[in-house]
Amino acid sequence: MQSYPLTVDKFLDHAAKWTGDRQVVTAGAGRISYAALRARSNRLSGALGHLGLAFGDRVATLAWNTQHHVELYYAAMGAGLVCHTLNPRLTAAHLAAMINEAEDRVLAVAANLAPMLEALLPLCPGLKHIVMIDEAAGEPPGWASPHAARGWELEALLEAHGRPVTWGGFDEESPAGLCYTSGTTGMPKGVLYTHRSNYLHTLRGLQADAFGLTAADAVLVAVPMFHANGWGLPFAAPAVGANLILPGRHQDGASLAKLMREERVTVAAGVQTVWLGVVDHLDAVGGDLPDLKRVIIGGSSCPDALIRRLEERLGARVQTSWGMTELSPLGTVAPPDAPASAVRASGRPPIGLDLKLTDAEGVTLPQQRNVVGHLKVKGASVVDRYYKAEADSLDSEGYFDTGDLARIDEAGNLTLCGRSKDLIKSGGEWINPAEIEDIVGRHPTVGQVAVIGRTDPKWGERPVLIVAARQGHAVDAQTLLNALRGKVADWWLPDQIVQIGVMPLAATGKIDKIKLRADYVSGEGVMARSDS
């Protein structure tokens, strides 16, 4: 059989040749066909070569979901460079640590993020070039410094030095992308994706019982492209010729609803907080999204009440999913036609990924169904060793420990039961915050909920329940306690209930429990408190 290396440039090559008139649309910035985007990306590869980059060098991006960001993905990866996506919501110190560890030589920055350069550049002496993307922005702070990198604007760089190059032609095990974990449970760690892992992950996501995209779809990528390659959708959409709809920086409910309506979005992907904003907007102003068929939700588990609300208000099927940066990131997903029990869970693993449950010591549980265990995964798109780590992160059978507790039902559907590090030990016994969150999250007055532990001199730890009310509602502490009674043990009932106006979110859009622990773990007795 032919040797046909599995490299990601083939996705855009395929789109340009066979669905070249299908489009990439950026909110407020126009549209471009796949054929034209492929030509620009390829010429950009030549321009990056002019900047002195060689095979395996790292190109960092500090940007939103836009056409230019997609062009950089393919320009870097197609030429054998590594695209290192950075999260703009992190501090300059965190970003600098990642840039320096990765030894990035070029940094592409969204124009509206230019002010961050003033703090970032002095911390990153290895950067040689800054490329401003998305719009003209003039010379950002720091460029005049003798120690600063040379500055370019993307269009000027393309005009002066863009040239066609040959994509691919290297080993499929070559590195393609670098993404750091969110650091919610420790210091961020780098995950180095290969072309092969990204290619196989794309095929896994395109399965009919997974994302199941087709050329007839218009796909809204509301998950950031700096978060695990935007769940792989910038590869999956061109692979099948689906229109790729990008929201740019603005992901409020009004902006997304307008974009989805205008571009006739059929499939939309993002964390649940994004869809809460959309349905709140539609409830406030009216209107609907007549073309929307499916909403893919990732991140933290989604309460039944929110799933029902989304499906009723959006008129679309909700697909829940679970994944991690270390998995590229898709782990499990509920099929488009899944029964309600599978949607309440996080679905099953598509082919190419295996799961197992172990005890706390790592011993595989003899019974793998309907028991709670520590979740481990194995597959072609699962991390082996963190970037620049000295040892593998796998057990003796080659499985990666996710740090999650989970249950697998008889049909193979995965339900996450919380992070093992989030368990609360009270009086020598364990309390699982995820079970409390699931019950409280179903209450119609509750928008978002989190449970954290606070130190207790008698019991070791006790649970604190923190809630943000659903728009237009108020929550009552006693009502929420009554909702828990009889469903969890009495000693699981929270000692403290805190109502806040806005739930803090981490850089990936998940609820930020680190900040909640810092702000709300003091106090005695059941109480309600209102904060904004």
What's the rounded Cα separation, in Å, for the pair 35 and 45?
16
Is 326 assigned a catalytic role? yes
What's the rounded Cα separation, in Å, for the pair 257 and 219?
13
3 state SS of 513: helix
Which of 166, 312, 430, 487 does the annotation list as catalytic? Answer: 430
Task: Check if the beta carbon of residue 355 is closer than 8 Å to that of residue 377.
Answer: yes
What's the rounded Cα separation, in Å, for the pair 57 and 181?
21
Q: What pairing do the DSSP bridges indicate for beta strands 23-26 and 294-298?
A: unpaired
Mention every residue, 6+ apart, whose C-beta is less than 8 A from residue 22: 15, 33, 34, 215, 241, 242, 243
Torsion of CA 206, 204, 386, 194, to 10 degrees: -80
Which of 326, 332, 461, 513 does the annotation list as catalytic? Answer: 326
Is 153 assigned a catalytic role? no
Task: Check if the beta carbon of residue 45 is closer than 8 Å to that of residue 75.
Answer: yes
Number of neighbours of residue 160 by Cβ within 10 angstroms: 10
Which of 425, 429, 491, 515 does the annotation list as catalytic? Answer: 425
Amino acid at 318: V
Cross-strand partners of 220: 245, 268
Q: What tokens does 225 get?
A: 């492209």
Which of 181, 194, 325, 415 does the annotation list as catalytic? Answer: 181
Task: Check if the beta carbon of residue 472 is closer than 8 Å to that of residue 447.
Answer: no
End-to-end Cα, the chain, rounded Å:
63
Closest Cα partner for 481 from 456, 464, 459? 464
Q: What tokens does 217 get?
A: 């779809």
Q: Which residues are catalytic?
A: 181, 326, 425, 430
